[in-house]
Amino acid sequence: MSYQDTANDFLARASYAHDKVDGFTSATVPSKYTGIDWAGVGDYSQHPGKKWAYEIEKTWHDIGKHTINAGVSYHEEEMIQKRYDLSSWHNKGSIIEQYAQDEGKVKNLAVFVQDEYKFDDEWSLFVGARYDRFKKGDGKFWRSGKNGYDTTSEGKTYNHISPKVALEYKANENMNYYVSYGESFNPPALYNIYRFGGSGMGNVIPNPDLDPEISKTWEVGMKRHLTDKDTLDISLYQVETKDKVAYTYFYAPNSSIVEYKQYINYGEENRRGIELNYEHRFNDNLSSYINYAWQMGKVSGPEITNTNQSGYNNQVDYGVPKHIFHAGLAYDRAKWIALLDMQYVSPRQNANAPGGEYGAYDGYFLVNTSVGYRVTPDFTVKFSIDNIFDREFYDNEATAGRTYTLGVRYEY
């Protein structure tokens, strides 16, 4: 919930990631290949990226009846995609020449503040707002050859204020009820704006004009302490999203031939769901949790000529996972902290759509873990392994597989 207190009076976080080798190779004309090794020419798409983020947050407690939380966050991300002809599509080192390049950058600066006002021991009001300034930089696109191009897209800046308000009622020491409303500003993924998918990925082209999604969320729920060691939370929510980003096929006029595919802003989504969270504490050091959410999304939008967007009215949105499940164990003793987490997300596509290939949104079950050590009360070093069993699945693109992360956190 947006109105939960932070654990520390002052908190700063920073992170940086640089992926130098991200990319894929593909066959140019698979139907012409012969032989058991499927040898042949192809292309190599290399799309390294950089991400940098920083957040600083401060909480002021017991200012009369107020508790105020405020902060600033900054996020910057950039990518450059280079595409090459290969003499052997199995070998990304068999480069003949570079034939295309795409690049772009996004930045997001956010300022947020929230005030908790306690009327008395039973009633609390939470009021807050977040200001986002999101900037898409100029995109650059180049390709050689007969159908080549050399062009740029104009950057654009978005400014948006997202309000949040919640009312909480503490019926007794073991039972809380709340109702809340909030808005959110969701910038599109970087690769949807700037990256060319290539013929091997279905001829997906960039959309530098893609706008952020704007969502409104209503929620009502309860929090109950069943025993000294057991807690149960239940919430009902509804989310309305405008300018929904949709993966769209564009056909040749009066034809079923796909000329290209592109992510566009299309229609509205209405999502409803219920979430249950149960926590049990075995002792002062070991606790467990189980979280389950069921949800259903419906999408509406007008007909767009020569596309697969034929006009919908409350049609099922298969991009919304119907089932989300989390469970795990958390350990915290002296200087050591550890977590074992399991998560399941159901498929996010029509049951008749193919899975296990580019463009699919497969269901998946992952096991993740992390171990941390408090060097001092304020300084923590943590090592994490995501996707321990190296599960392979597609979330539109092939996912990263087993991932190792070493991080530090400083609180003051």
Does residue 275 carry a pLDDT above 90?
yes
Domain boundaries, the chain: 94-411
- Distances from the Cα of 360 to the Cαs of 226, 334, 395, in angstroms? 41, 44, 6
- Long-range contacts, 215-218 (Cβ 8 Å, 24+): 215/183, 215/184, 215/186, 215/239, 215/240, 215/241, 215/242, 216/181, 216/182, 216/183, 216/240, 216/241, 217/180, 217/181, 217/182, 217/183, 217/184, 218/180, 218/181
| Separation of alpha carbons 277 and 326, rounded Å | 9
Using the structure block, give the residue that is written with the tokens 């050591």: 336
Q: Which residues contact 120 (CB under 8 A, 6 or more apart)?
A: none
Looking at the predicted structure, is the pLDDT value of residue 201 above 80? no
Pairwise pLDDT comparison (33 vs 54), residue with the higher score: 54
The per-residue pLDDT for 22 is: 60
CA distances from 315 to 12, 308, 349 (A): 43, 14, 13
In tens, the pLDDT along 229-257 reads 999 999 999 999 999 998 899 999 988 89
Round to whole Å and give the CA distance between 152 and 138: 7
Among left, alpha and beta (phi > 0; psi -120 to 50; other), residue 36 is: alpha
* pLDDT tens track for 381-390: 999 999 999 9
Q: How many CB atoms lie within 10 A of CB 204?
A: 21
From the list 16, 15, 43, the residue with the least C-alpha distance to 29 is 43
d(CA 407, CA 74): 18
Residue 33 above 60 pLDDT?
Answer: no
Tokens for 402, please give them: 């087993």
Average the pLDDT over 30-57 and give the result.
72
- How much is the pLDDT for 113? 97
Q: What is the pLDDT at residue 4? A: 43
pLDDT band at residue 87 under the 50/70/90 scheme: confident
Give the pLDDT score at 32: 47
pTM of the model as a whole? 0.79
What are the backbone angles phi and psi of residue 308, rounded to the nearest 5°?
-80, 0
Q: How many CB atoms lie within 10 A of CB 149?
A: 10
* Cross-strand bridge partners of residue 339: 330, 370
Please report the pLDDT score of residue 198 as a whole number.
Answer: 60
Tokens (6 digits) for 233: 């939370």
Contacting residues for 265 by C-beta, under 8 A, at least 6 apart: 210, 211, 213, 243, 244, 245, 246
Residue 58 is predicted with a pLDDT of 92
73-82 mean pLDDT: 92
Taking only the tens place, the pLDDT of each residue in 113-142 is: 999 999 999 999 999 999 999 999 999 999
Whole-number pLDDT of residue 281: 96
Note whether 336 and 375 are within 8 A (CB): no
In the chain, the largest separation of any two C-alpha atoms, in whole Å, equals: 79
What percentage of the chain reaches a pLDDT higher than 90? 60
CATH code of domain 94-411: 2.40.160
pLDDT at 404: 87
Mean pLDDT of the chain: 87
Judge whether 350 and 318 are in contact, CB under 8 Å.
Answer: yes
